[in-house]
Amino acid sequence: MGKLPITVMGFRCDRCGHEWVPRDSDSEPRVCPKCKSPYWNKPRKIASATSYEDFRDKIVATLKASGQPLTWTDIRTRSGLPQKFPNNGWVHRMEKEVGLHRQRDQHGVIHWQVRIGTPASDRMAANADAPTPAQTPHSTSTPTGRKKGAVE
Protein backbone atom coordinates (compact mmCIF):
# COMPACT_ATOMS: atom_id res chain seq x y z
CA MET A 1 0.00 0.00 0.00
CA GLY A 2 1.40 3.31 -1.04
CA LYS A 3 0.63 6.76 0.06
CA LEU A 4 -1.45 8.88 -2.25
CA PRO A 5 -3.37 12.10 -2.06
CA ILE A 6 -7.11 11.61 -2.22
CA THR A 7 -9.04 14.36 -3.88
CA VAL A 8 -12.46 15.15 -2.52
CA MET A 9 -15.02 17.23 -4.33
CA GLY A 10 -15.66 20.41 -2.52
CA PHE A 11 -16.84 23.95 -3.04
CA ARG A 12 -15.23 27.31 -2.91
CA CYS A 13 -17.02 30.54 -2.13
CA ASP A 14 -16.50 33.22 -4.77
CA ARG A 15 -17.11 35.87 -2.19
CA CYS A 16 -14.89 35.00 0.75
CA GLY A 17 -12.73 32.24 -0.69
CA HIS A 18 -13.78 29.74 1.92
CA GLU A 19 -13.43 26.12 0.82
CA TRP A 20 -15.43 23.29 2.24
CA VAL A 21 -16.44 19.71 1.70
CA PRO A 22 -20.17 19.26 1.78
CA ARG A 23 -21.80 16.42 3.62
CA ASP A 24 -24.16 15.84 0.75
CA SER A 25 -22.26 16.47 -2.46
CA ASP A 26 -25.22 15.81 -4.73
CA SER A 27 -26.97 19.05 -4.07
CA GLU A 28 -25.32 22.43 -4.31
CA PRO A 29 -25.17 24.31 -1.05
CA ARG A 30 -27.47 27.28 -0.90
CA VAL A 31 -25.21 29.50 1.11
CA CYS A 32 -21.55 29.62 1.96
CA PRO A 33 -21.17 28.09 5.43
CA LYS A 34 -18.72 30.79 6.41
CA CYS A 35 -20.00 34.09 5.08
CA LYS A 36 -23.56 32.84 4.50
CA SER A 37 -23.69 34.42 1.09
CA PRO A 38 -26.26 32.88 -1.26
CA TYR A 39 -24.10 34.18 -4.11
CA TRP A 40 -21.13 32.09 -3.11
CA ASN A 41 -21.07 30.47 -6.57
CA LYS A 42 -21.75 33.63 -8.54
CA PRO A 43 -18.72 35.74 -9.31
CA ARG A 44 -19.20 39.38 -8.57
CA LYS A 45 -20.38 41.28 -11.59
CA ILE A 46 -19.13 44.69 -12.42
CA ALA A 47 -22.16 46.34 -13.90
CA SER A 48 -20.29 49.06 -15.73
CA ALA A 49 -17.96 46.62 -17.37
CA THR A 50 -20.30 45.73 -20.18
CA SER A 51 -18.26 45.85 -23.29
CA TYR A 52 -19.44 47.12 -26.62
CA GLU A 53 -19.35 43.57 -27.97
CA ASP A 54 -21.53 42.32 -25.16
CA PHE A 55 -23.92 45.22 -25.60
CA ARG A 56 -24.14 44.71 -29.34
CA ASP A 57 -24.52 40.94 -29.22
CA LYS A 58 -27.24 41.08 -26.60
CA ILE A 59 -29.22 43.65 -28.51
CA VAL A 60 -28.89 41.86 -31.82
CA ALA A 61 -29.86 38.55 -30.23
CA THR A 62 -32.82 40.12 -28.46
CA LEU A 63 -34.07 41.81 -31.59
CA LYS A 64 -33.68 38.71 -33.67
CA ALA A 65 -35.40 36.57 -31.09
CA SER A 66 -38.34 38.94 -30.97
CA GLY A 67 -38.63 39.20 -34.74
CA GLN A 68 -40.08 42.69 -34.50
CA PRO A 69 -38.91 46.17 -33.56
CA LEU A 70 -38.52 46.81 -29.87
CA THR A 71 -38.13 49.85 -27.70
CA TRP A 72 -35.00 50.36 -25.65
CA THR A 73 -36.93 49.46 -22.51
CA ASP A 74 -38.04 46.17 -24.07
CA ILE A 75 -34.53 45.37 -25.16
CA ARG A 76 -33.07 46.24 -21.83
CA THR A 77 -35.61 44.16 -19.93
CA ARG A 78 -35.29 41.15 -22.17
CA SER A 79 -31.53 41.17 -22.49
CA GLY A 80 -30.79 42.10 -18.92
CA LEU A 81 -28.46 44.91 -19.90
CA PRO A 82 -27.45 47.03 -16.95
CA GLN A 83 -27.51 50.40 -18.73
CA LYS A 84 -30.43 52.69 -18.05
CA PHE A 85 -29.81 54.43 -21.34
CA PRO A 86 -28.02 53.22 -24.41
CA ASN A 87 -24.58 54.60 -25.06
CA ASN A 88 -24.88 56.85 -28.09
CA GLY A 89 -21.46 56.05 -29.44
CA TRP A 90 -22.17 52.36 -29.31
CA VAL A 91 -25.56 52.81 -30.93
CA HIS A 92 -23.99 54.65 -33.83
CA ARG A 93 -21.37 51.97 -34.11
CA MET A 94 -24.08 49.35 -34.27
CA GLU A 95 -25.87 51.26 -36.98
CA LYS A 96 -22.75 50.98 -39.07
CA GLU A 97 -21.68 47.49 -38.11
CA VAL A 98 -24.82 45.42 -37.72
CA GLY A 99 -27.39 47.44 -39.58
CA LEU A 100 -29.17 48.66 -36.49
CA HIS A 101 -32.06 50.86 -37.45
CA ARG A 102 -34.01 53.10 -35.13
CA GLN A 103 -37.27 54.66 -36.05
CA ARG A 104 -39.28 57.18 -34.09
CA ASP A 105 -43.01 56.71 -34.32
CA GLN A 106 -45.69 59.42 -34.09
CA HIS A 107 -45.67 59.17 -30.31
CA GLY A 108 -41.96 59.83 -30.15
CA VAL A 109 -41.20 56.27 -29.20
CA ILE A 110 -38.06 54.91 -30.78
CA HIS A 111 -38.24 51.41 -32.17
CA TRP A 112 -35.08 49.44 -32.68
CA GLN A 113 -34.52 46.78 -35.26
CA VAL A 114 -31.71 45.09 -37.08
CA ARG A 115 -31.70 44.15 -40.69
CA ILE A 116 -31.71 40.41 -40.67
CA GLY A 117 -29.02 38.78 -42.67
CA THR A 118 -26.16 41.09 -41.78
CA PRO A 119 -23.17 38.84 -42.39
CA ALA A 120 -20.84 39.29 -39.45
CA SER A 121 -23.43 39.63 -36.76
CA ASP A 122 -25.37 36.54 -37.69
CA ARG A 123 -23.06 34.03 -36.16
CA MET A 124 -22.37 36.21 -33.17
CA ALA A 125 -26.03 36.54 -32.35
CA ALA A 126 -26.55 32.85 -32.62
CA ASN A 127 -24.21 31.96 -29.83
CA ALA A 128 -24.75 35.05 -27.76
CA ASP A 129 -27.96 34.68 -25.84
CA ALA A 130 -29.99 32.20 -27.80
CA PRO A 131 -31.04 29.21 -25.77
CA THR A 132 -28.62 26.78 -27.27
CA PRO A 133 -29.35 23.11 -26.79
CA ALA A 134 -26.98 21.49 -24.37
CA GLN A 135 -23.80 20.88 -26.22
CA THR A 136 -22.41 18.19 -24.05
CA PRO A 137 -20.06 16.19 -26.20
CA HIS A 138 -21.42 12.74 -25.68
CA SER A 139 -18.66 10.22 -25.67
CA THR A 140 -18.91 8.47 -28.97
CA SER A 141 -15.70 6.66 -28.38
CA THR A 142 -16.71 3.27 -27.14
CA PRO A 143 -13.69 1.44 -25.93
CA THR A 144 -13.01 -1.33 -28.34
CA GLY A 145 -10.75 -3.79 -26.70
CA ARG A 146 -11.47 -6.42 -29.28
CA LYS A 147 -8.26 -6.46 -31.25
CA LYS A 148 -6.36 -6.98 -28.08
CA GLY A 149 -5.24 -10.43 -27.42
CA ALA A 150 -5.61 -11.47 -31.04
CA VAL A 151 -1.90 -11.92 -31.37
CA GLU A 152 -1.08 -14.42 -28.75
Chain residues binding Zn ion by CB under 5 A are: 13, 15-16, 18, 32, 34-35
Q: Cβ closer to Zn ion: 27 or 136?
A: 27
Closest separation in Å from C-beta 36 to Zn ion: 7
CB of 44 to Zn ion, least distance (A): 12
Residue 110 and residue 34: Cα distance in Å, rounded? Answer: 48
* Closest separation in Å from C-beta 39 to Zn ion: 9
Q: Which is nearer to Zn ion, 32 or 128 (CB)?
A: 32
- The smaller minimum CB distance to Zn ion, of residues 35 and 130, is found at 35
How far are the Cα atoms of 13, 18, 44 from residue 39, in angstroms, in the given order? 8, 13, 8
**Contact in structure between 20 and 14 (CB atoms under 8 Å):** no
d(CA 101, CA 113) in angstroms, rounded, equals 5
